[in-house]
C-alpha cells in the first residue's frame, strides 16, 4: 500500500473521520473537504488480512483485495495519485471507484510529499475549459456526469455542459452536479433542460465549485428556487448570461441577488416565471452595477413600471424583446420611449403586447434614435397611421418585420416605404391579412434605393398590382422571397425582374402556383450572372425552365424544383451544362422523374477540380427511385448527401439521409413509414 501512494508512517492522513453511518456504505457521492475535522474515538485497531472461508472440512483462503478497504482509505489513495491520467484509470474500475474519484476537489489532491498539489506540478488537473459535453434523454445520469468530470479534468478541462432531459429511472440529481462541481472548476457554460429532479442543492454545488461560470441556462427546472440564484450570485460573480424559462419557483429575491453581485452580467432572458414581477426586473436594470445589453422578457406578471425602468435606466441596452406581457398598456410603451434612456437600442422585438398602439410606437421611435431593427408580431392595435408616423421618425431603421399585424394595409406599407430614411435594407411581411391588392397611384417620388431584401409570406391579398408598385419603388433588390402568394402571376413578376438593376442573388418563389416557365426564362436571362439560389417549389414550370437555367445561371448552387412538372429530359439538360455548379438539388415530388435520371444526377457532381463540391440531392421515394438508389448511389462518391423523401400521408413528408440507413434495413423502414 505504501508503495502505491508513497505513504510513510510520519505522513498525516487528510483530516476527517467516518462519513457514513455504516463504514461499508458507499452508495452515495461524498467528498472530504479541507474544512472537515471529525473526532475519532479510541478504537481497537482492525487487522486487515485475507479472509478465511470454511467450506465443509476444507479451509479456503481468498486472495487479499483492495475492495475490502473502506471508502475513506480509498479516497486517501486516489487523492495521492501522481496525475490526472492515473485517477482516470482508477475511475474506470467500478462505479464505486468512479464515485470516489469524481468527488476529489482540486484542493484535496496531494502530491507524493503529502502536500497540496500546486498549479505548476499538476497542470492536467485544470485546463482552459475548451471541452464540450452534451447528455440527452436516457443518457443523462449521475454516473455519466461523474465520468465526464473525471475524464475531462486531464484533457483540458470542461468548458461547456449541456443536459437535456433525464433518465426516467436513474436521472440527473444533485449528486451528478456535485461531481461536476468537484472535477470541473473550469466550467463556463451550463445548460439544464427539463430536469425535475435537480434542485437547489445541485446548483449550490455548482456555485461552490465552478467560480468561472459565465453562462447559465435553466429551462423547466421546477425544483430550483431563489436559493440557487442566491448561491450563484455569491459564488459566480463572473456570470455574463442568464436564461431562466419555466422555473415556477424563481422570483424577485433571486434576481435581486444576481443584480447586486454580478457586475459583468450582459444578457438576461426571463420567460414564464410567474413569481417574477416588477421588483425583480427593476432591480436588474436600476442596479448601480448594471451593464445589461440584451434583455428578453416573456410571459411575466410585470406592469408599466418595468417598462418605465427600462426606458430610464437601460442606457447600455442594445437588444430588447418583449413578448406576451398582458399587464403592460399603452402607457408603459409611451413612458419607455419618453424616458430617453434607450439611446443605444438597436434591435426591438414585440410580440402579443396590447400596449403597442400608434401612440406607443411613435414614442419608441422618438426615444430610440439609433434603432436599426424592428419586429412586430401580433400587434392588433397598430394601424397604418402609427406605422407611417414611426417611419417618419425612425431615420436609422434598416430592417422592418411585420407578422400577423392585420390592421396594416396597402396604404401603411407604401406610406412607410416612402417615409423611411435611406438606410432601410430589408422588409418582411408575414400573414398580414389586411394587405389587399389595390391599384395605388404612387406620386412621382425618389425610389427606395437602399432596400435590398423583400420577403412576403402567406399574405393572400397581395397580388400583381402591389408587386408592380414595389418593383418600381425598389430597383436595387437582390433577395426576393415571395412564398405562398397565389395572387402573383407572370403579369406582376415580370415588371419587377425588369426593374431590378443590381441583379438578383436569391429568389424564393415557393408556393406561387401561378408562375410559369416565362418568368424563369426571363429571370435566367436577366439575372443569371448573379443568381445563386432559386426555389421554384410548386410552380408551374417544365423542362424549358431547366434548359434556361442550365444555359445562363453559372453561379447557381442551390436549386429546388420540387413538385414541378419536370422530366428526365430536364435533369439531363442540367447535367449537360459545363457551366453550372450545383451543390444542392431538390426534385422531391416530381413524379415524372424516374430512375433514368440517376446517371444525370451523377454527372452534376463532376465539376472541374477547382469548382468541385459535394452535391446534396433530394429525391422522393414515390418517383420509383428507391430500388435503384441502393445500387447506384455508392458509384458516385462526389455526391455528398442523398436524402430520400419518405412521404407519410399521416405526418407529411420526412427527409432521411441515405447513409444513415443500410441497404438491408431500408425495406423494413419503408414499410414502417408507409
Supply the pTM of this predicted model.
Answer: 0.76
Q: Assign 101 a pLDDT band (cuts: 50, 70, 90).
A: low
Using CA atoms, how far apart are residues 576 and 559, in angstroms rounded to an integer? Answer: 16
* Listed residue (94, 258, 105, 86) closest to 178, CA to CA: 105
Cβ-in-10-Å burial (0-12, 13-18, 19+) of 615 comes to buried
Across the range 109-116, mean pLDDT stands at 49
Cβ-in-10-Å burial (0-12, 13-18, 19+) of 33 comes to middle
Given this model, what pLDDT does residue 24 score? 43
Q: State the Cα torsion 205-207-212-217 to the nearest 10°.
A: 100
Three-state SS for 55?
Answer: strand
Using one digit for the tens of pLDDT, what is the confidence trace for 150-164?
A: 766 666 678 899 999
Using CA atoms, how far apart are residues 591 and 355, in angstroms rounded to an integer? Answer: 51
Given this model, what pLDDT does residue 275 score? 96
Report the mean per-residue pLDDT for the chain. 78
Is 90 exceeded by the pLDDT of residue 496? yes
Is 70 exceeded by the pLDDT of residue 284? yes
Given this model, what pLDDT does residue 288 score? 72
Choose from 68-72, 147-151, 325-329, 617-621 the range with maximum mean pLDDT: 325-329
Return phi, psi of residue 396, to 5°. -100, 0
Q: How many CA atoms lie within 13 A of 344 on its CB side?
A: 14
Across the range 283-306, mean pLDDT stands at 92
Cell of residue 442, nine digits: 404612387
Contact call for residues 256 and 279 (beta carbons, < 8 A): yes
Cell 487523492 belongs to 79
Given this model, what pLDDT does residue 629 score? 44
Tell which wins on pLDDT, 658 or 70: 70
Across the range 490-498, mean pLDDT stands at 94
Given this model, what pLDDT does residue 646 score? 43
Query: Which residues on adjacent β-strands are paired with residue 558?
Result: 533, 584
Cell of residue 208, nine digits: 461552490
Using one digit for the tens of pLDDT, what is the confidence trace for 382-402?
A: 999 999 999 999 989 999 999
Q: What does R_g of the chain's alpha carbons equal in angstroms?
A: 33
Contact call for residues 316 and 344 (beta carbons, < 8 A): yes
Using one digit for the tens of pLDDT, what is the confidence trace for 200-245?
A: 999 999 999 899 999 999 999 999 999 999 999 999 999 999 999 9
β-pairing, 131-136 vs 241-245, is unpaired
- Kindly report which listed range (5-19, 242-256, 550-564) carries the lowest average pLDDT score: 5-19
Identify the sign of the CA torsion 98, 101, 103, 106: negative
Helix/strand/coil (H/E/C) assignment for every residue in 344-384 = CCCEEEEECCCCCCHHHHHHHHHHCCCCCEEEEECCCCCCH
Across the range 462-490, mean pLDDT stands at 93
The rounded percent of the chain whose pLDDT value lies above 90 is 50
Across the range 432-461, mean pLDDT stands at 83
Task: Give how far Cα 52 sits from Cα of 8, 58, 66, 68, Å.
Answer: 29, 10, 16, 14
Using CA atoms, how far apart are residues 242 and 298, in angstroms rounded to an integer? Answer: 14
Helix/strand/coil (H/E/C) assignment for every residue in 261-306 = HCCCCCEEEEECCCCCCHHHHHHHHHCCCCCCCEEEEECCCCCHHH
Using CA atoms, how far apart are residues 419 and 410, in angstroms rounded to an integer? Answer: 14
Using CA atoms, how far apart are residues 318 and 296, in angstroms rounded to an integer? Answer: 11
Cell 413578376 belongs to 493
Helix/strand/coil (H/E/C) assignment for every residue in 170-239 = CCCCHHHHHHHHHHCCCCCEEEEECCCCCCHHHHHHHHHHCCCCCEEEEECCCCCCHHHHHHHHHHCCCC
Given this model, what pLDDT does residue 139 score? 81
Cell of residue 490, nine digits: 407572370
Using CA atoms, how far apart are residues 429 and 400, in angstroms rounded to an integer? Answer: 9
Q: Assign 58 a pLDDT band (cuts: 50, 70, 90).
A: low
Query: Which residues on adjacent β-strands are paired with residue 136?
Result: 164
Given this model, what pLDDT does residue 25 score? 44
Return phi, psi of residue 603, to 5°. -65, -30
Residue 56: which residues within 8 A CB-CB, separation 6 or more?
none
Given this model, what pLDDT does residue 408 score? 95
Given this model, what pLDDT does residue 251 score? 95
Is 80 exceeded by the pLDDT of residue 618? no
- Kindly report which listed range (33-47, 236-250, 262-276, 654-668) carries the lowest average pLDDT score: 654-668
Cell of residue 43, nine digits: 478504537
Cell of residue 199, nine digits: 434542485
Tell which wins on pLDDT, 332 or 96: 332
Across the range 586-593, mean pLDDT stands at 88
CB atoms within 10 A of CB 576: 12
* Listed residue (542, 550, 508) closest to 525, CA to CA: 550
Given this model, what pLDDT does residue 41 score? 45
Using CA atoms, how far apart are residues 655 and 674, in angstroms rounded to an integer? Answer: 14
Using CA atoms, how far apart are residues 338 and 197, in angstroms rounded to an integer? Answer: 45
Across the range 33-48, mean pLDDT stands at 44
Across the range 615-626, mean pLDDT stands at 52
Given this model, what pLDDT does residue 67 score? 66
Amino acid at each position: 500500500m505504501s508503495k502505491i501512494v508513497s505513504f510513510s508512517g510520519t505522513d498525516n492522513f487528510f483530516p476527517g473521520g467516518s462519513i457514513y453511518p455504516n463504514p461499508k456504505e458507499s452508495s452515495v457521492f461524498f467528498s472530504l473537504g479541507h474544512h472537515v475535522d471529525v473526532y475519532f474515538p479510541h478504537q481497537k485497531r482492525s487487522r486487515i488480512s485475507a479472509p478465511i472461508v470454511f467450506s465443509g472440512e476444507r479451509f479456503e483462503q481468498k486472495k487479499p483485495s483492495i475492495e475490502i478497504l473502506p471508502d475513506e482509505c480509498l479516497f486517501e489513495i486516489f487523492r495521492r495519485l501522481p496525475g490526472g491520467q492515473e485517477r482516470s484509470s482508477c475511475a474506470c474500475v467500478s462505479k464505486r471507484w468512479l464515485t470516489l474519484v469524481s468527488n476529489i476537489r482540486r484542493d484535496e489532491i496531494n502530491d507524493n510529499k503529502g502536500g497540496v498539489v500546486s498549479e505548476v506540478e499538476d497542470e492536467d488537473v485544470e485546463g482552459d475549459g475548451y471541452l464540450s459535453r452534451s447528455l440527452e434523454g436516457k443518457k443523462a445520469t449521475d454516473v455519466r456526469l461523474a465520468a465526464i468530470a473525471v475524464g475531462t479534468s486531464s484533457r483540458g478541462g470542461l468548458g461547456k455542459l449541456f443536459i437535456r432531459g433525464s433518465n426516467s429511472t436513474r436521472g440527473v440529481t444533485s449528486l451528478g452536479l456535485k461531481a461536476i462541481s468537484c472535477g470541473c472548476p473550469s466550467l463556463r457554460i451550463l445548460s439544464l433542460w427539463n430536469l425535475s429532479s435537480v434542485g437547489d442543492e445541485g446548483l449550490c454545488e455548482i456555485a461552490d465549485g465552478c467560480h468561472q461560470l459565465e453562462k447559465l441556462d435553466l429551462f423547466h427546472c421546477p425544483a430550483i428556487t431563489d436559493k440557487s440564484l442566491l448561491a450563484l450570485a455569491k459564488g459566480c460573480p463572473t456570470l455574463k448570461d442568464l436564461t431562466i424559462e419555466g422555473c415556477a419557483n424563481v422570483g424577485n429575491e433571486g434576481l435581486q441577488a444576481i443584480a447586486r453581485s454580478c457586475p459583468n452580467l450582459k444578457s438576461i432572458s426571463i420567460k414564464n416565471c410567474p413569481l417574477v414581477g416588477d421588483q425583480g426586473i427593476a432591480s436588474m436594470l436600476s442596479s448601480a452595477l448594471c451593464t445589461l445589453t440584451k434583455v428578453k422578457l416573456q410571459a411575466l406578471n410585470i406592469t408599466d413600471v418595468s417598462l418605465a425602468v427600462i426606458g430610464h435606466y437601460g442606457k447600455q441596452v442594445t437588444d430588447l424583446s418583449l413578448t406576451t406581457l398582458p399587464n403592460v398598456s399603452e402607457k408603459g410603451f409611451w413612458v419607455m420611449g419618453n424616458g430617453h434612456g434607450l439611446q443605444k437600442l438597436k434591435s426591438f422585438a414585440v410580440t402579443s403586447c396590447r400596449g403597442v398602439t400608434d401612440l406607443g410606437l411613435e414614442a419608441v421611435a422618438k426615444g430610440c434614435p439609433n434603432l436599426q431593427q424592428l419586429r412586430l408580431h401580433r400587434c392588433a392595435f397598430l394601424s397604418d397611421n402609427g406605422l407611417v408616423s414611426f417611419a417618419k421618425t425612425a431615420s436609422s431603421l434598416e430592417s422592418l418585420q411585420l407578422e400577423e399585424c392585420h390592421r396594416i394595409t396597402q396604404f401603411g406599407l407604401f406610406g412607410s416605404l416612402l417615409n423611411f430614411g435611406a438606410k432601410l435594407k430589408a422588409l418582411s411581411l408575414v400573414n398580414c391579412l389586411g394587405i389587399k391588392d389595390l391599384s395605388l397611384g404612387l406620386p412621382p417620388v425618389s425610389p427606395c434605393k437602399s432596400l435590398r431584401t423583400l420577403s412576403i409570406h402567406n399574405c393572400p391579398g397581395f397580388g400583381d398590382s402591389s408587386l408592380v408598385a414595389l418593383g418600381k419603388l425598389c430597383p436595387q433588390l437582390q433577395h426576393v422571397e415571395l412564398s405562398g402568394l397565389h395572387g402573383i402571376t407572370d403579369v406582376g413578376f415580370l415588371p419587377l425582374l425588369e426593374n431590378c438593376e443590381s441583379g438578383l442573388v436569391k429568389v424564393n418563389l415557393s408556393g406561387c402556383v401561378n408562375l410559369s416557365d416565362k418568368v424563369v426564362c426571363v429571370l435566367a436571362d436577366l439575372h443569371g450572372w448573379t443568381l445563386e439560389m432559386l426555389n421554384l417549389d410548386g410552380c408551374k414550370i417544365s423542362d424549358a425552365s431547366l434548359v434556361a437555367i442550365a444555359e445562363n445561371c453559372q453561379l447557381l448552387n442551390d436549386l429546388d424544383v420540387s413538385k414541378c412538372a419536370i422530366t428526365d429530359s430536364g435533369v439531363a439538360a442540367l447535367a449537360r451544362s459545363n457551366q453550372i455548379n450545383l451543390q444542392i438539388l431538390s426534385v422531391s415530388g416530381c413524379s415524372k422523374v424516374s430512375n433514368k435520371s440517376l446517371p444525370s444526377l451523377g454527372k452534376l457532381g463532376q465539376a472541374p477540380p477547382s469548382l468541385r463540391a459535394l452535391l446534396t440531392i433530394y429525391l422522393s421515394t414515390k418517383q420509383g427511385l428507391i430500388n435503384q438508389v441502393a445500387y447506384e448511389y455508392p458509384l458516385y462518391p462526389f455526391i455528398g448527401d442523398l436524402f430520400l423523401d419518405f412521404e407519410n400521408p399521416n405526418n407529411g413528408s420526412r427527409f432521411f439521409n441515405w447513409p444513415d440507413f443500410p441497404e438491408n434495413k431500408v425495406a423494413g423502414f419503408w414499410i414502417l413509414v408507409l
